[in-house]
């Protein structure tokens, strides 16, 4: 294992600062430096969209009709060390397919001249007296306000008092029949923020600390005048980032007390940064009652925010379009990856035969040195399989130790050996990891747009130890101006069924990902395919996924779909019409329209009436349409 010296790290830091992308070109909130994509004016759309000169002119629109407004502020980390994570609200809403508009606090008085909307306060913001007065009056007149991580000084509006800071804890639902808190399964581990004593508000959930003592209300709903508020007191934005990106890996983590995860084996890896709890965040799995991270905590924390927006929007009967996660209303997507440890051609051929027999295309990640015969790579490409990198910083040789130089060397080796012009995907050998964000920075620089390293190497960390099933773009929160790294993280659930764990673990893990409409990612090494039961377990897993309305994709397909979907923006015209702008075609997309009640709504696309189907998303009813988005599509709800 080779650690880069201080001179090398300083040079890399300076180089990184010089390479900063133009991420800040689009709208930002109060100069906080995080672009809030999703809503744009017609002029901005025409100017910034790829190939914009070929687009039809945008229709005239009411720019004050966006259903969701996001308000945040840059806050000194001296005042709140978690504040840099508040801009992560952008990633949560964009991944969910919501369209929203940023608003700086000094524009809050504009709310009185706008159509009804949901205002999201992202973080415990230091609002001025004038800004708090504007929000107080607006809510009192019928506005809907969602507070994340604190009240921003609006205790009376949220109906709470006696705020207490929260270091870390677990949410305990008290209102199991409420649409915001119904049906949650995970431990809901949270970090930071506040708890409160309810005044006029109703507590939907409380927070407990490590000794199971209640620290007060954590999720609270209130009626204030003619308006409505929801307060998620714990800092869910920081919590999600903290669980996903973890602590900086500079030493081994403490092992699981039951011996199921010996993390202190002398090798630094992704799990050494995990921040979850061995006792309270794991669940026994059948058939051997092994303790694993079965429930994706960060997924449910995301959904608490989304459910809150949906609930407030439904109460106001707002037009709320959602560009759903996957095409054709799929429940979710599966990914099978193969790390080519050993580079045995016979075993590779055997695994390829299994995948082709099952008619599933997968992602092959090549380990340096060696490789397979050129003919094998030609077969992979011919049949639609993906080829990526299995970066080796484990072996410790001249080109197989931890350094950016070795990563670049191996990246070039794979391209040359396999005859691939561009690589999209990587997974680090043995899930090797050092630092916190160094590796995704390396990937971004070389143009490698997706990583699969964040996952387990031990049986006791199987499941979701480093976040959830939602693919995500990491937040570069260690720089002065936070931004998102253009590297889609796709978490790994487990390595080879049968070899690493009982095959019975497969379906429940897949089910957990599907409940949250995420990615179910399983690793099967060619090195194990000939061992008893492995091919059968793989085949049964693939078949089971299909029965659950899951499609098996390559990692490149996941990245390409997510990139295209996030390019779509919206212009809201009034309370019942929106135009979607797709710079590049997005085929068979699923558009959801929030139902204000149980009955279906009458929907037109570009003036033509179209049928819709009913779809439930995170406990809320929507009208669902499958459509090909090209250029502009006007959606009207009658």
pLDDT above 80 (res 392): yes
- Give the helix/strand (H/E) hosting 168: strand 168-173
% of the chain beyond a pLDDT of 90: 87
Angstrom distance (rounded) from CA 233 to CA 193: 6
Angstrom distance (rounded) from CA 7 to CA 5: 5
Quick one: average pLDDT of 535-560?
A: 98
- Burial class from Cβ neighbours inside 10 Å (0-12, 13-18, 19+) for residue 296 reads buried
Question: Which range among 62-66, 201-205, 368-372, 532-536 shows the weakest confidence by mean pLDDT?
Answer: 62-66
- Domain 326-562 listed as CATH 3.90.228.20: no
pLDDT above 50 (res 50): no
Angstrom distance (rounded) from CA 635 to CA 610: 10
Angstrom distance (rounded) from CA 539 to CA 541: 5
User: Could you report the per-residue pLDDT of 589-606, keeping only the tens digit for each?
Assistant: 999 999 999 899 999 999
pTM equals: 0.91
Question: Which CATH code of 3.40.50.300, 2.60.40.10, 3.40.50.920, 3.40.50.880 fits the domain covering 69-241+300-323?
Answer: 3.40.50.880
% of the chain beyond a pLDDT of 70: 90
Q: Where are the domains of the chain?
A: 69-241+300-323, 326-562, 568-637
pLDDT above 50 (res 24): no
Let me know: does 327 contact 590? Beta carbons within 8 Å.
Answer: yes
pLDDT at 28: 35
pLDDT at 45: 33
Beta-carbon-side half-sphere exposure of residue 291 (alpha carbons within 13 Å): 13
Annotate 479-520 with DSSP letters as a single string.
SSS-EE-S-EE----BS-BTTTB-GGGHHHHHHHHHHTT-EE
pLDDT above 60 (res 144): yes
User: Could you report the per-residue pLDDT of 333-352, keeping only the tens digit for each?
Assistant: 999 999 999 999 999 999 99
Query: Which is more confidently placed, 480 or 356?
Result: 356
Query: Which is more confidently placed, 81 or 62?
Result: 81
Q: What is the mean pLDDT of the chain?
A: 91
pLDDT at 38: 38
Bridge partners of residue 172, in order along the sequence: 206
Let me know: does 431 contact 453? Beta carbons within 8 Å.
Answer: yes
pLDDT above 90 (res 331): yes
- Any alpha helices (H) in 166-324, and if so which ranges? 236-245, 297-316
Annotate 520-544 with DSSP letters as a single string.
EEEE--GGGTTSTTHHHHHHHHHHH
User: Could you report the per-residue pLDDT of 519-547, keeping only the tens digit for each?
Assistant: 999 999 999 999 999 999 999 999 999 99
pLDDT at 63: 52
- Burial class from Cβ neighbours inside 10 Å (0-12, 13-18, 19+) for residue 517 reads buried
- Give the helix/strand (H/E) hosting 139: helix 129-140
Beta-carbon-side half-sphere exposure of residue 55 (alpha carbons within 13 Å): 24
User: Could you report the per-residue pLDDT of 399-442, keeping only the tens digit for each?
Assistant: 999 999 999 999 999 999 999 999 999 999 999 999 999 999 99
pLDDT above 90 (res 44): no
Let me know: does 189 contact 281? Beta carbons within 8 Å.
Answer: yes
Annotate 581-625 with DSSP letters as a single string.
EEEEEEEEEEEEEE-SSSSPPPEEETTEEE--EEEEETTEEEEEE
pLDDT at 65: 85
Quick one: average pLDDT of 445-464?
A: 98
pLDDT at 210: 87
């Amino acid at each position: 294992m080779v650690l880069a010296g201080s001179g090398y790290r300083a040079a890399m830091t300076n180089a990184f600062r010089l390479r900063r992308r133009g991420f800040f070109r689009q709208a930002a909130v109060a100069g906080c430096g995080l672009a809030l994509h999703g809503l744009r004016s017609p002029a901005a759309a025409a100017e910034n969209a790829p190939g914009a000169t070929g687009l039809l002119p945008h229709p005239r629109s009411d720019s004050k009709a966006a259903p969701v407004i996001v308000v945040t502020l840059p806050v000194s980390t001296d005042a709140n060390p978690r504040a840099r994570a508040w801009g992560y609200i952008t990633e949560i809403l964009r991944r969910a397919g919501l369209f929203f508009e940023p608003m700086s606090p000094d524009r809050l008085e504009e709310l009185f001249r706008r159509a009804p909307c949901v205002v999201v306060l992202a973080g415990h913001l230091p609002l001025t007296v004038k800004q708090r007065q504007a929000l107080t009056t607006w809510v009192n007149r019928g506005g809907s306000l969602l507070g994340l991580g604190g009240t921003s000084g609006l205790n009376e509006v949220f109906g709470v008092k006696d705020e207490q800071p929260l270091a870390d804890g677990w949410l305990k639902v008290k209102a199991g029949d409420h649409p915001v808190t119904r049906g949650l399964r995970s431990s809901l581990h949270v970090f930071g923020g506040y708890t409160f004593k309810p005044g006029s508000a109703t507590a939907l959930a409380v927070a407990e600390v490590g000794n199971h003592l209640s620290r007060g209300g954590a999720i609270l709903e209130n009626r204030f005048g003619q308006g409505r508020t929801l307060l998620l007191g714990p800092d869910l934005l920081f919590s999600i980032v903290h669980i996903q990106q973890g602590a900086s890996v500079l030493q081994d983590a403490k092992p699981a007390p039951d011996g199921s995860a010996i993390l202190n084996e002398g090798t630094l890896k992704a799990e050494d940064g995990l921040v979850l709890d061995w006792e309270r965040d794991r669940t026994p799995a059948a058939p051997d009652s092994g303790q694993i991270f079965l429930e994706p905590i960060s997924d449910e924390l995301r959904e608490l925010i989304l459910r809150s927006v949906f609930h407030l929007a439904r109460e106001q009967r707002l037009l709320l379009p959602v560009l759903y996660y996957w095409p054709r209303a799929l429940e979710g997507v599966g990914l099978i990856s193969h790390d080519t440890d050993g580079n045995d051609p016979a075993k590779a051929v055997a695994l390829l035969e299994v995948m082709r027999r099952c008619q599933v295309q997968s992602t092959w990640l090549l380990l340096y040195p060696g490789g397979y015969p050129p003919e094998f790579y030609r077969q992979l490409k011919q049949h639609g399989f993906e080829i990526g990198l299995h970066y080796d910083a484990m072996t410790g040789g001249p080109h197989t130790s931890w350094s950016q130089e070795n990563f670049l060397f191996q990246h070039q080796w794979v391209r040359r050996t396999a005859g691939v012009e561009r690589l999209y995907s990587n997974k680090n050998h043995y899930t090797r990891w050092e630092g916190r964000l160094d590796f995704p920075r390396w990937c971004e620089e070389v143009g490698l747009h997706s990583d699969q390293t964040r996952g387990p190497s031990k049986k006791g960390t199987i499941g979701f130890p480093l976040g959830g099933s939602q693919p995500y773009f990491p937040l570069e929160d260690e720089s002065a101006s936070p931004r998102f790294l253009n590297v889609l993280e796709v978490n790994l659930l487990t390595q080879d069924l049968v070899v690493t764990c009982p095959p019975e673990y497969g379906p429940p893990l897949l089910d957990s990902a599907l409940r949250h409409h995420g990615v179910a990612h399983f690793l099967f090494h060619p090195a194990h395919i000939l061992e008893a039961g492995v091919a059968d377990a793989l085949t049964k897993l693939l078949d089971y996924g299909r029965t659950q309305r899951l499609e098996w994709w390559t990692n490149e397909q996941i990245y390409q779909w997510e990139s295209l979907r996030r390019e779509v923006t919206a212009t809201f015209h009034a309370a019942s019409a929106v135009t979607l702008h797709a710079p590049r075609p997005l085929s068979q997309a699923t558009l959801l329209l929030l139902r204000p009640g149980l009955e279906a709504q009458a929907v037109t696309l570009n003036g033509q009436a179209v049928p819709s189907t009913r779809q439930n998303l995170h406990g809320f009813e929507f009208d669902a349409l499958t459509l090909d988005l090209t250029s502009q599509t006007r959606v009207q709800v009658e």
